[in-house]
Amino acid sequence: MKRSLLRWAQCAAASIVATAFVPVAAQTASVAEAAPAAAAAKRPKICLVLSGGGARGAAHVGVIKVLEEYRVPIHCIAGTSMGALVGGAYATGMSVPDMERINNSMSVEKLFKEKPPRQELAMRRKIDDYSNLVSPEIGTASKQATIVKGVVSGVQLETVLRELARVQGYHDFDKLPIPYRAVATDLVTGKAVVFDEGELANVMRASMSVPGAVAPAEYNGMILVDGMLTSNLPVEAARAMGADIVIAVNVGTPLLKREELNSILGVAGQMLSILTEQNVQASLAKLKPTDILISPELGDFSTGDFDNLPKITPLGEAAARQVADRLAQLSLPPAEYAALRKRQQVAMVPDLTPVDEIRFDNLTRVNPQAAQAVMETQPGQPVVQAQVDADMRRLYGTGDFEHVNYRIVGEEGKRVMAVDAVEKAWGPDYLRLGLGLSSDFSGETYFNLVAAHRMTWLNSLGAEFRTDAQLGYDNSLRMEFYQPLSIAGTFFVAPRVSVGTQRVSIYQQDNRIAEYNVSTAVGGIDLGMQFQQYGELRLGLEGGRVKAELETGPASLDPGGDTRTLGAIRARLLLDRLDNVHFPRFGWNAAATIFDNNADLGAELPYTRWAASGRLAHSFGENTVRLGVNAGGTIGNNPLPAYDQFQWGGFLQQSGYATGQLIGQNLQFGQLMFYRRIARGSLFDGAYSGLSLEIGKVGDPLVKGNPDGVLRSIGLFIGTDSILGPLYFGYGKAEDGPDSFYFYLGKPL
């Protein structure tokens, strides 16, 4: 199943490994070059035809390497899918060593990880990561069910294509250093589309849109998918370019064996392979005796083996050498070939010409001004490729679009950046679900179901109404109306209400002796400020009621059971530059909160509580070192009520102790963590093993006799950031204290 999934879901993208520069028109040959050009005119026109085949297409690079070794002139190139990408790179003057270097840098993660780098997400989307929510999101506003058009939208692929292409703009493919054609399939008509002009990166993207795997490309009014469906080995396109001799390289994937057809994906992939093989055989039948066919023996390498591209390239070399005698017959004299390659390898200069206008077409919900405010690229400024790529990722990271791309077009004497931002068909209202499960294998088990419903773009400034619910060990319902005060969204106002019940276990040493049930009902309003992708500051007023009751345990621990009135000022600062919340490899975050329950605002039990935390992560290869601190206490002389004291203990927060075993008036905690990525995955960020060294203190404990001095612990774990949330298996041991095994699915409590 793994092989069939990779073949079907990621079929065309390996060809991205060779894309590089989009050149300007080839420069006119000098008089000194006229003689070689005249001599070449008397020779047969040789066209290189490169098939699709996913990661197996890395073999094309090996074939080209041998063609250069034997000084075989290439006068035109036609390619499909991965062949369109490798062929486009070579047609624009990229060298074989550069192709091999790019091969070595490619991976499944780099090509197919759709989510933009977390540091580039809007702060409101980052905050979602602190809840146990899983993807995908469910649209709740659409009148009919909407399914995703592909496993990946292609945003990350396009980013890589633009990075490698470097130069933007529309080109006549006959004016490239080597004339070039790319083939895609019109999804509406079912016919092959042979591109002889266009924006090279977008044409390559259209040629490689595997149905069901990569979302179709919309280009020049057409809905385009992978050219493999109609012409995976485009011999006819080469003939139309005037080819006398065709060198065809076929890296298509063989059909699955009977025992491999054991899943829906396997059957679907086999159907695509059958369609592809039929048109390949038709193309092979059109080869002439003077043509050369190269079919590399690629063994078990699949279309999805993007992590093994350096191993595939030599297999193309080996296949080309098997026809060395025929290639030698096409060889040019060294001087003549050198002159030809000099003309074909044109140095590229990035086009930094400013755009006069940035335009968003076809937006019906999202305010175009708000979308442009997300971008750093502005009209009148030089267009820097890396900056525009980051702009596209940030737009995609807002969560409003299912696909984002752009074109540079000329209109009425001005240069326009047309941003093709496709709003989610299943929006604008979304539901996400999740769960949290934990156990210390000694009787303490916690289970919560969570749900978050988000209504977006309620007005032109981007207002949102959010509802978060939790059901299980703890129950809660929270609603917030988030209203930006400007297009930029720097300042906002957010009225909110929440109700909930929470159970608090009380320990004496290692024994649970009591349990509280704490009920709250709170309403408030915040005035806040967003620091772009860096953080958020809130200052608000809130009021409500809280009731803490003793469910079980001695009367001496009874918190009173009366309903208390709250009236407070709350300030919260959150800064977040982590690349991942659960297993960060780089970055930092910090948070600080002050809660002043004030008698002047109606509070019955006035007190001031503060809390702060921070994390810093840095990696060396697959190894990561992480530092963490937590602290909290009171301001003034009023103690914290029993229901709002600091609860600590458990996995990675004084490991060895039970979850929430340590309760007191103040907290100091420090942590040094080391973990190593022991495996990579395409559906998850990776698997990790690590240890945590912890030192802390919970002062003035609620239960007299509990530890109030310095505590030291060590934690060991293996874990992964799975599609259901972080998954941990761990062991903790406290110095001269308890030990425990832990299991967590979802964020540790």
Q: How many beta carbons lie within 10 A of that of residue 274, not counting itself?
A: 10
Q: Where does the pLDDT of residue 117 fall: very low under 50, low under 70, confident under 90, or very high at 90 and above?
A: confident
Decide which of 501 and 412 is more confident. 501
Closest-CA residue to 647 (of 634, 665, 629)? 665
Decide which of 155 and 285 is more confident. 285
Q: For position 14, what pLDDT does the model report?
A: 35
Return d(Cα 420, Cα 415) in angstroms, integer: 16
Q: Where does the pLDDT of residue 3 fall: very low under 50, low under 70, confident under 90, or very high at 90 and above?
A: very low
pTM of the predicted structure, to 2 decimals = 0.78
Return d(Cα 448, Cα 604) in angstroms, integer: 32
Range with the poorest average pLDDT among 12-26, 100-114, 393-407: 12-26
Decide which of 112 and 417 is more confident. 417
Q: Where does the pLDDT of residue 7 fall: very low under 50, low under 70, confident under 90, or very high at 90 and above?
A: very low
What does the angle CA 112 – CA 216 – CA 395 come to, to the nearest 5 degrees?
60
Q: Examine the pLDDT at 507 and tell me if it is beyond 80.
A: yes
In this prediction, residues 625-654 reach a mean pLDDT of 94
Q: Residue 21 carries which DSSP code?
A: -
In this prediction, residues 514-518 reach a mean pLDDT of 91
Specify the 3-state DSSP secondary structure of 78. strand
Q: For position 285, what pLDDT does the model report?
A: 93
Contacts of 456 (CB under 8 A, 6+ apart): 365, 399, 400, 427, 428, 429, 430, 462, 464
Q: Examine the pLDDT at 694 and tell me if it is beyond 90.
A: yes
Q: For position 592, what pLDDT does the model report?
A: 98
Q: Where does the pLDDT of residue 269 fall: very low under 50, low under 70, confident under 90, or very high at 90 and above?
A: low
In the chain, the percentage of residues whose pLDDT exceeds 70 is 86
Question: What sign has the CA pseudo-torsion 551, 555, 556, 561?
Answer: positive
Range with the poorest average pLDDT among 118-127, 327-336, 473-482: 118-127
Q: Examine the pLDDT at 240 and tell me if it is beyond 50.
A: yes
Decide which of 152 and 284 is more confident. 284
Q: Contact at 8 Å (CB) between 498 and 477? A: yes
pLDDT digits (tens, 9 = 90+) for 325-359: 999 999 999 999 999 999 998 776 767 788 899 99
Q: Which residues pair with 435 in a beta bridge?
A: 449
Specify the 3-state DSSP secondary structure of 555. helix
Q: Among 207-211, 509-513, 625-629, which range has the highest average pLDDT? A: 625-629
Q: Examine the pLDDT at 444 and tell me if it is beyond 90.
A: no
Q: For position 213, what pLDDT does the model report?
A: 66
Range with the poorest average pLDDT among 89-93, 184-188, 258-262, 546-550: 258-262
Q: For position 152, what pLDDT does the model report?
A: 61
What does the angle CA 636 – CA 638 – CA 644 come to, to the nearest 5 degrees?
110
Q: Where does the pLDDT of residue 260 fall: very low under 50, low under 70, confident under 90, or very high at 90 and above?
A: low
Decide which of 601 and 306 is more confident. 601
Residues with active-site annotation? 81, 226
Closest-CA residue to 238 (of 387, 83, 119, 28)? 83
Give the DSSP letter string of 575-597. Answer: EE--S-SSS-SSEEEEEEEEEEE
Q: For position 461, what pLDDT does the model report?
A: 94
Q: Examine the pLDDT at 578 and tell me if it is beyond 90.
A: yes
Q: Which residues pair with 366 in a beta bridge?
A: none
Q: Where does the pLDDT of residue 35 fall: very low under 50, low under 70, confident under 90, or very high at 90 and above?
A: very low
Q: Where does the pLDDT of residue 453 fall: very low under 50, low under 70, confident under 90, or very high at 90 and above?
A: very high
Q: Among 100-109, 368-377, 687-696, which range has the highest average pLDDT? A: 687-696
CA atoms within 13 A on the CB side of 378: 4
Q: For position 114, what pLDDT does the model report?
A: 64
Residue written as token pair 């069939």: 4
Give the rounded distance of the alpha carbon of 292 from its chain centre.
41
Q: Examine the pLDDT at 202 and tell me if it is beyond 50.
A: yes
Question: What sign has the CA pseudo-torsion 322, 326, 329, 334?
Answer: negative
Residue written as token pair 């006959």: 174
Q: For position 37, what pLDDT does the model report?
A: 47
Q: For position 21, what pLDDT does the model report?
A: 30
Q: For position 140, what pLDDT does the model report?
A: 81
Give the DSSP letter string of 98-158. Answer: HHHHHHHH--HHHHH--SPPGGGS-HHHHHGGGS-B-SPPEE-S-SS----SEEE-SHHHH
Q: Examine the pLDDT at 437 and tell me if it is beyond 50.
A: yes
In this prediction, residues 357-383 reach a mean pLDDT of 90
Q: For position 465, what pLDDT does the model report?
A: 97
Q: For position 16, what pLDDT does the model report?
A: 33
Q: Examine the pLDDT at 671 and tell me if it is beyond 90.
A: yes
In this prediction, residues 633-659 reach a mean pLDDT of 93
Q: Residue 13 carries which DSSP code?
A: G
Return d(Cα 378, Cα 453) in angstroms, integer: 34
Tell me what the pLDDT averaged over the chain comes to: 85
Decide which of 595 and 212 is more confident. 595
In this prediction, residues 527-539 reach a mean pLDDT of 93
